[in-house]
Amino acid sequence: MASQETVTGSRPSTQAQSLGSNLDSLAPATPATPLVATSTGKDEGFRQMPRSKNSRQPLFLAWWLEFGALILSATSLISAAVVLALYDGKPMQDWGLDTISINTVISVLGVISKVTLAFAISSAIGQHKWNWFRAGQERLGVFEKFDEASRGPLGSASLLLWSRAANWAALGATVTITALLVDPFLQAAVSLRGQDDDTPTSTGVLPVAEQVDIGILRDYPQSLTRFRTPDGSEFEVDNFEVFPSFGVTSAFYDGLSESMNTTSTASSKTPSFLCSTGNCTWPLYTTAALCSRCNDISDRIIKTSGSSPHMGYYNATDYWLEYVTIGDPEFLFTNFSVGNGHILQFDGPLVPKNGFNGAPGGKPVLLTAFVNFRYSASVSFQDLNTTVATFIVLRAGDDFQHQNVAWEDSKPTATECALYFCAKAYRATVANGVLNETLTGTWAIREPKSWNMADHSKHAYKENEWRQFDTENPDLLSLNFFRTDLQLIIPPSELDPETPVTTRFNITHATINALQTSISSLFVPSMPPPPISIDRPPKRFVVYPNNNPIFLNDIPEVMWSANDLTAAFQNTADHLTVRMRDVSEATQVGQVKQYVLHFEVNWGFFSLLVITLALGCLYFAGVLYQTHRLGLPSWKESAYPVMANGFAEETQSLLRTVDKNMYQIKGLEHTRSGMEVMLVEADGGYRLEVGMAQRKR
């Protein structure tokens, strides 16, 4: 008959090692019953276990599931990185899966990588527990911490707090905790960023002025115009009819008027454009334009005085002064003049006692503005040979306006502004339907061989006089001579040779005449007697307040209200430039932009998972190396080795005694967790027993 295993009763044994006063009092008088008896019925104490076959197996065979998990974790992470790299910066519509988003794919791959990594690390922490106690004795509570850490992040947190990053256990616990926290970072690794992309199927169009041709010049041979040169000689030429351009007149008028209107927008100063999506860009381009500049010439004002019973055509600032007749035979007046402009009125304060000053009803003259089309006769723009018109604005001084001084003692101010042809270089964008042009360069260089007198055949006998006159009068005031185009040039050396742009621009004779005629129509002409003299052209001016009902417009009020004349004339130049470009046939092609959402990868967030995997692999390799060095079986986190290779008989007896009296003796539970044990070899197997061996770490 086969023998039957029985559990023997208690028998004498050696006394358990003392672990303090509490344990000494609890040590049993008789030894505890051994856990297992042999089949022979003889008591052999702790069950002898042969070495596990796992201890002799290659590590790869014992850990093949964990190796496979790490490979799957790394493969999933690499796949996620490849997907992110392929679509980083790509438009969202390039993602071919309609029902699954890229975030879903990355999340699934991330979860696979995280779960498989956690599985491998859990096994490694479980194995680390045995390695730790094999290397030396440690408190029994640490055995529990390792065991709990192999089951999840909460136990790992407890193990991390115990280890305080002082050993390998901290690394395994950190990997377990970090793997739990990577989900939100993985979701944040992919975001959407909007940007304007080129649309190859359509183009944007901007007008540019390369050949400016505005207005009409019509030959009118039925009459002649007589000209007198500075040397006194005269000659006659055929007339031509000049027609003002209502578009130019409107642009000039609107430009000045908008300087009074603070609510005006920039849309009226931008050329028309074509941009189907409302978002376009243009590379560097050039265009002919009108520029402006203003200088303070108050220091050049000349003061003169005189007396007269009335003011005539040739000295008057205001037409109404001609009709001022008062009982006294003479009235004193003071004239402040500079260049072709002046401001004068009768002496005295702003509101004299007799009620008269400069105009009927005592209305004073506070501002005058004179226009001149000969830059050579200007005060401060004689070197700017592309100037089409200059304006001298004289303004009564503040001391006179505030009635602090009489007119003859006041100090008026004078400003000279010029409108001149120029070439400009821009880069432009349209964003949300709004055009924004960025100025990159401005040139006002006149081709010397342009703007010549044309068609001398009718007056060949005066060829020398024509040539001399043409040389001595480079102004853009053409009078009645037909002229070739004015050409503006940009030196090629000042542009990027890699960006081809137009560097030569033509302004026709008709354009210059239309511009000057349109401006003239807004100013009141003076009436010098014929013949028209080159050195004495008719003056055109406006006065504020305007006391002549025949010539009422807003120009005097605009000039008076514009505290910043520089800005006012710049606004005018911008309006005239827009007009020139809008009527031009030349265009600049740009790239149409479309707002597109793009994937954007934040590699910093993604790197957290990469670092976690790398640390996990490092910890896993370290545990396997230590297991191999210690010659331990690969028990991992299995509960079976705890049962098969548990505590020694004396340790079991002591633990049972502690459990029995835990609630009677204060602090006994802490005494149990503080008990130091060690995994030792015993008769070909292993057991945990109270030990005093030094830790081999």
Site of tokens 């001298």: 392
Q: Rounded to whole angstroms, how far apart are CA atoms 553 and 555?
A: 6
Q: Rounded to whole angstroms, how far apart are CA atoms 426 and 282?
A: 9
Contact 550, 525 (CB under 8 A): no
Report the range of poorest mean pLDDT among 71-85, 149-163, 536-550, 580-594. Answer: 536-550
Query: In the 8-state DSSP scheme, what is residue 636?
Result: T
The predicted structure's pLDDT at residue 357: 47
Q: Rounded to whole angstroms, how far apart are CA atoms 327 and 348?
A: 17
As beta bridge partners, residue 438 has: 427
The predicted structure's pLDDT at residue 672: 54
The predicted structure's pLDDT at residue 383: 93
Please state the rounded mean pLDDT for residues 324-343: 73
* pLDDT band at residue 289 under the 50/70/90 scheme: very high
Contact 237, 470 (CB under 8 A): no
Query: From start to end of 61-182, where are the E strands?
Result: 138-139
Query: Per residue in 242-270, pLDDT tens?
Result: 777 888 888 898 888 887 665 444 445 78
Give the up-direction half-sphere exposure of residue 431: CA atoms within 13 A in the CB hemisphere: 6
Cα 141 to Cα 70, 133, 383, 583: the distances in Å are 30, 12, 97, 92
How far is the first Cα of the chain from the last one, in angstroms, to the nearest whole number?
51
As beta bridge partners, residue 304 has: 335
Q: Rounded to whole angstroms, how far apart are CA atoms 131 and 49?
A: 18
* pLDDT band at residue 33 under the 50/70/90 scheme: very low
Share of the chain above pLDDT 70, in %: 66
Three-state DSSP class for 543?
A: strand
**CA nearest to 279, candidates 354, 214, 203, 336:** 203
Report the range of poorest mean pLDDT among 251-255, 471-475, 630-634. Answer: 471-475
Ramachandran bin of 321, using left for φ above 0, alpha for ψ from -120 to 50, beta for the remaining angles:
alpha
Three-state DSSP class for 501?
A: coil
Please state the rounded mean pLDDT for residues 337-341: 91
Q: Where are the alpha helices (DSSP H) in 363-436?
A: 398-401
Q: The whole model's pTM is what?
A: 0.63
Query: Per residue in 192-240, pLDDT tens?
Result: 888 878 887 778 899 999 999 988 777 666 666 666 665 666 666 666 7
Q: Is the pLDDT of residue 401 over 60?
A: yes
Continuous segment of H or E residues that includes residue 390: strand 387-395
Report the range of poorest mean pLDDT among 417-431, 457-471, 478-492, 660-674. Answer: 660-674
Three-state DSSP class for 494?
A: helix
Non-local CB neighbours of 63 within 8 Å, separated by 6+ positions: 123, 624, 634
Query: In the 8-state DSSP scheme, what is residue 330?
Result: -
Report the range of poorest mean pLDDT among 73-77, 174-178, 499-503. Answer: 174-178
The predicted structure's pLDDT at residue 253: 85
Structure tokens given for 433: 């339907």
Ramachandran bin of 479, using left for φ above 0, alpha for ψ from -120 to 50, beta for the remaining angles:
left
Contact 465, 229 (CB under 8 A): yes
Continuous segment of H or E residues that includes residue 39: none
Structure tokens given for 307: 């007396």
The predicted structure's pLDDT at residue 410: 94
Q: Rounded to whole angstroms, how far apart are CA atoms 440 and 529?
A: 48
Q: Rounded to whole angstroms, how far apart are CA atoms 424 and 443?
A: 6
Q: Are strands 138-139 and 676-682 parallel, antiparallel or unpaired?
A: antiparallel
Sign of the alpha-carbon torsion through 342, 347, 349, 352 = negative
Q: Is the pLDDT of residue 319 over 60?
A: no
More confident residue, 77 or 51: 77
Continuous segment of H or E residues that includes residue 589: strand 587-601
Q: Is the pLDDT of residue 489 over 90?
A: yes
Q: Rounded to whole angstroms, how far apart are CA atoms 557 and 580?
A: 26
More confident residue, 387 or 591: 387
Three-state DSSP class for 292?
A: strand
Continuous segment of H or E residues that includes residue 690: strand 685-690
Structure tokens given for 76: 């999933």
Continuous segment of H or E residues that includes residue 133: helix 102-135
Torsion, CA 110, CA 116, CA 122, CA 125, rounded to 10: -90
Contact 326, 346 (CB under 8 A): no
Q: Is the pLDDT of residue 73 over 60?
A: yes
More confident residue, 662 or 489: 489
Q: Is the pLDDT of residue 587 over 80?
A: yes
DSSP string, 426-455: EEEEEETTEEEEEEEEEE--B-TT-S-B--
Please state the rounded mean pLDDT for residues 90-104: 87
Q: Is the pLDDT of residue 341 over 60?
A: yes
Please state the rounded mean pLDDT for residues 558-584: 90
Structure tokens given for 664: 């009677």
Q: Is the pLDDT of residue 165 over 80?
A: no
Q: Burial, 222: exposed, middle or buried (Cβ in 10 Å; 0-12, 13-18, 19+)?
A: exposed
Cα 486 to Cα 4, 359, 442, 510: the distances in Å are 126, 43, 17, 11
Mean pLDDT of the chain: 75
Query: Per residue in 542-555, pLDDT tens?
Result: 888 776 555 566 78
More confident residue, 143 or 375: 375
